[in-house]
Amino acid sequence: MKRILTGLKPTGDLTLGNYIGAIKQMINMQDEYDSFLFVADLHALTIYQDPVELKERIRKFIAMYIACGIDPQKNTIYIQSENEYIPAISYLLECNTNYGEASRMIQFKEKSKQNANFSVGLLTYPILMAADILYCDCDYVPVGIDQKQHVELARNIAERFNNKYGKTFNLPEPLLSKTGTKIYDLKNPTKKMSKSEDNPSGVISLFDDLPSIVSKIMRATTDSLNQIKYDPENQPGISNLLNIASSLTNRSIDDLVSQFNGKGYGELKKYVAEITANHIGEIQKRYEQIVNSELLDEILNKGIARSRELAQQKYEAMKLKVGTVRK
Ligand code: ATP
Ligand code: MG
């Protein structure tokens, strides 16, 4: 069975973008793949997180994954920081990464511009991500387009390590879903919807109450062309709403466009608001049943045991190759 892996950073509450772009993809693939899904809490630390909030959010993430439909029987679910071999592997990979290639990462360039006091962790974050991907020899990494470059970096580092020291890693590939890959901010539809966004009016959190979800969608920024057409370049707001609806209902964009052909933006918004609120409402009901159950700890214990075993094996194999051994 081929292996897939995805992690999400607890930098804010999970969003509709995370659900459509990452979690839903994992759900669609969980029957066919050996699936690893983790809370990337070490990655969250590249930007300061309130410690009390971070701790709460880690548990909320796990419960939300399961509420969304991630099956704990079919997935290895764990908290990244509980696997101490991953940072150790990351260090050995760092020593096989050029400073130039790390600093060319688009996210690093963008985020380091936003804050002059950025941490070294922001630069090494994609290498830690490479460790996440490479320790378990995963085959595919389902990601949104914003993460494709980082998966390619992981592949390049793995290839370099293999060439230098002999075959150690499987070469991973990014896996992009065909539709609805990227969900945009409702207020600013040329900007990605992000959970760490300060202004929540354009971001739908999976924890939002249902009336807020409806009101955010009804107030989404559109355009003045007054035509319902899928044209991400000239009509990013409308196209974003169509993408959301298509992903949540599994209906094609064409089908939706023909349903709303000649109708006003208000009608489309009402439809998208209703299906989104219903969909998230169902997830929230399941979440409430799970969040305080002891089952969560059982799932996490089982997940981290498997993850640590694989990472330990990989770390020891790497140490042998690079020569950091007693005998
Ligand atoms: P942050 O603002 O802290 O970067 P984020 O919302 O971008 O948070 P990440 O934890 O960086 O979330 O990413 C988790 C996964 O969700 C990745 O696979 C990423 O590609 C996907 N993802 C994030 N935002 C979106 C989005 N707007 N649309 C589709 N997929 C997304
Ligand atoms: Mg992100």
Please check whether residue 327 lies inside any domain of the structure: no
pLDDT, tens digit, 9 for 90 and up, residues 44-75: 999 899 999 999 999 999 999 999 999 999 99
- Given ligand 1 and candidates 6, 8, 129, 193, which is best to mutate, with the most ligand atoms within 8 Å of its CB? 8
Q: Is 9 in the pocket of ligand 1 (CB under 6 A)?
A: yes
Q: Is 18 in the pocket of ligand 1 (CB under 6 A)?
A: yes
User: Distance (Å, rounded) from C-alpha 150 to C-alpha 174?
Assistant: 9
> Which residues are designated catalytic?
111, 192, 195
End-to-end CA distance of the chain: 36
User: Distance (Å, rounded) from C-alpha 195 to C-alpha 9?
Assistant: 9
Q: Is 180 in the pocket of ligand 1 (CB under 6 A)?
A: no
Longest distance between any two alpha carbons in the chain, whole Å? 76
Please check whether residue 278 lies inside any domain of the structure: yes
CA 62 distance to own-chain centroid? 13
pLDDT, tens digit, 9 for 90 and up, residues 242-255: 999 999 999 999 99
Q: Is 5 in the pocket of ligand 1 (CB under 6 A)?
A: no
Say if residue 79 is in the same domain as residue 107.
Answer: yes
SS (H, E, C) 16-65: HHHHHHHHHHHHHHCCCCEEEEEECHHHHCCCCCCHHHHHHHHHHHHHHH
The domain total for the chain is: 2
Which 8-state DSSP code applies to residue 4?
A: E
Q: Is 183 in the pocket of ligand 1 (CB under 6 A)?
A: yes
Mean pLDDT of 305-318: 98
pLDDT, tens digit, 9 for 90 and up, residues 68-113: 999 999 999 999 999 999 999 999 999 999 999 999 999 999 989 9
Say if residue 71 is in the same domain as residue 144.
Answer: yes
Tell me the β-bridge partners of 192: 184
Question: Which residue's alpha carbon is nearest to atom 23 within ligand 1?
Answer: 18
The ligand 1 atom at the shortest distance from the C-alpha of residue 14 is 6
pLDDT, tens digit, 9 for 90 and up, residues 264-304: 999 999 999 999 999 999 999 999 999 999 999 999 999 99
Residue 216 CB contacts under 8 Å (≥ 6 apart), including other chains: 186, 201, 202, 203, 204, 208
Q: Could you give the percent of the chain with pLDDT greater than 90?
A: 89
Please check whether residue 191 lies inside any domain of the structure: no
Domain that holds residue 166: 3-176+294-322
pLDDT, tens digit, 9 for 90 and up, residues 125-157: 999 999 999 999 999 998 877 889 999 999 999
Say if residue 274 is in the same domain as residue 317.
Answer: no
Residue 147 CB contacts under 8 Å (≥ 6 apart), including other chains: 141, 174
- Given ligand 1 and candidates 5, 8, 18, which is best to mutate, with the most ligand atoms within 8 Å of its CB? 18
- Specify the pTM: 0.92
Mean pLDDT of 19-38: 93
Say if residue 39 is in the same domain as residue 161.
Answer: yes
User: Distance (Å, rounded) from C-alpha 182 to C-alpha 240?
Assistant: 9
Asked if 210 contacts 264 with a C-beta cutoff of 8 angstroms, the reply is no
Token output for 259: 């349903």
User: Distance (Å, rounded) from C-alpha 140 to C-alpha 148?
Assistant: 11
Say if residue 98 is in the same domain as residue 160.
Answer: yes
The ligand 1 atom at the shortest distance from the C-alpha of residue 181 is 29
pLDDT band at 199 (very low <50, low <70, confident <90, very high): confident
Q: What is the dihedral of CA 239, 241, 243, 249, to 10 degrees?
A: -150
User: Distance (Å, rounded) from C-alpha 202 to C-alpha 220?
Assistant: 7
pLDDT band at 177 (very low <50, low <70, confident <90, very high): low
